[in-house]
Structure 1
Amino acid sequence: MGSWPESGRVALASPRAVRFADTPVGLLAGGVRPSPPPPVTTPLLLWDLATLVPTPDLDRELHRSALAGLLGRPAPNIPYRPDRRTDPVVAVDLLDRSGRNGERASRLPRLLAALALVLSQRGLRPTDVDGPPGVGREVVGLVSRHCPGLRQGVVAAAVRPNALLKLRATGLDRHLSGGRAYGSDDCRWEVLVGLALARSATAAGVVVVTGGAELGAAARRAGATVVAVAPAGSDVGRWADLVVPGLLDVVTALRPLVAHAPRRPCPALSVSSHPSFEE
């Protein structure tokens, strides 16, 4: 019989390393260790803020009030444009109509700041929003419930302070935590879509929901899949992938899009930190 070591302890040998191929799972897998599953990704859903919170009369009023305060006289009328131009583009148009096109560089920043000041002093009223109240918040909630994991953000023609005020006033700010981009970030819709995508953690493409042809066409050029909501005009097939009659129909349209994570090759976008215009 062997004797105990003088230290009184038994020296235990290190256990033999077990190969994955010798484990029960490894034997069933033929000795090949399976690779980890790829991370599940879903597209970023970008809502056109003017589709969720349509305020065309208010937006015209804000521009005319801001310009009138800057010029010290009444501003010209703004024709209705259903394709929703960004605030900087509308502001430049008004300056041109007022004979101040040679003063863009000095007056445009002041005019955009005045837009935010006018709305902050006035506030957003329930009657400013076209259509039944709360529909935008309702449809965003439906998307959250029926398309789990889908990140939702917003792209807005309005300057940042005005867009944020509209989001807070309607309770949408708590639900749209994905990418965001605003009219004060750039005057070009393509760049705004690219900025919103870059600010989101998702990498599986982008779906834009809008009723405006200008944003829809720009979003497609930027590589997005476009869902058109109650669009005006007969050329919707040129700028939209899917057409739905109303906001509450968006969820049905989104399910197959989310399941297949649609992507188009996105062209390189030239992103500037300030609005720029062709002279």
Structure 2
Amino acid sequence: MAAPPRPGFPARIHNMGKTYNAPGTRPAARRPGTGGSSSSAPVSVPEAGGVMMPGRDSIPARARMVQQLADSGIRDLQVLRAMGAVDRHRFVDGALVPQAYEDTALPIGLGQTISKPSVVARMIELLMQGGLRGPDGKLGRVLDVGTGCGYQAVVLGQVASEVYSIERLRDLHEKARANLRPMRIANVHLILGDGMAGFAKGAPYAGIIAAAGGEAIPDAWIEQLAYGGRLVAPIATAPGQQALMVVDRSRQGVQQTILEAVNFVPLKSGVA
């Protein structure tokens, strides 16, 4: 009898029954202004299957992280599943592994950081709320500006059909390639280039997300965003201050919405 077909990458784990309610955590609360139930019951989160490179000892830590994200107001089950599926500790230096599942940004070299899990989840959830989705419920093609160590690109790969992730710093681009190489993820593409110029070859994009903030949203990003698509990026609101901006593009024009304060590295042009 012929062997069953080998699953593609990333493999998906269909186990929807696990409820994360770690000791000492509160029941999930609704984020003001978002959808979802306001019940005090814990959120039923799809089980974190470790689909990238399962580290069995990391599963409880990831489960606690996912429950904390749900408690803080992240309601999209696809986002929670994606956050629970990716081993964040594989994207940080060995000395920082004990902090990998804490809600904190961590240094990854060259003055850059891996964003807080709560920030990654928040931005991806915002993208999911407005971006173009396919019949399977996934986002279409996404542009990820600022690959860094590759963590956010891999999480995006769980919720989008295809991800183009661009990094301007050669050493970080190579680090991300090394991190992703053993994972064999077919739908995430890493590019060395100037993120401010976007990546026109992959456009139009259902969603664009950026991990660095400038004085304004580059025109190239708007031009490469599909009609009906959404862009989520930090933007400077005052000297030394940033906030998340959501940009929705339609045939009638562009709508910009400023949300909560954030703290990202500055957006720069060129390749170094």
Establish whether TM, by shorter chain, passes 0.5. no
> Looking at CA atoms only, which structure, 1 or 2, has the larger radius of gyration?
1
Task: Give the helix-richer structure, 1 or 2.
Answer: 1
More strand by share: 2
TM-score for both structures, normalised by structure 1? 0.30
Q: TM-score if structure 2 supplies the norm length?
A: 0.31
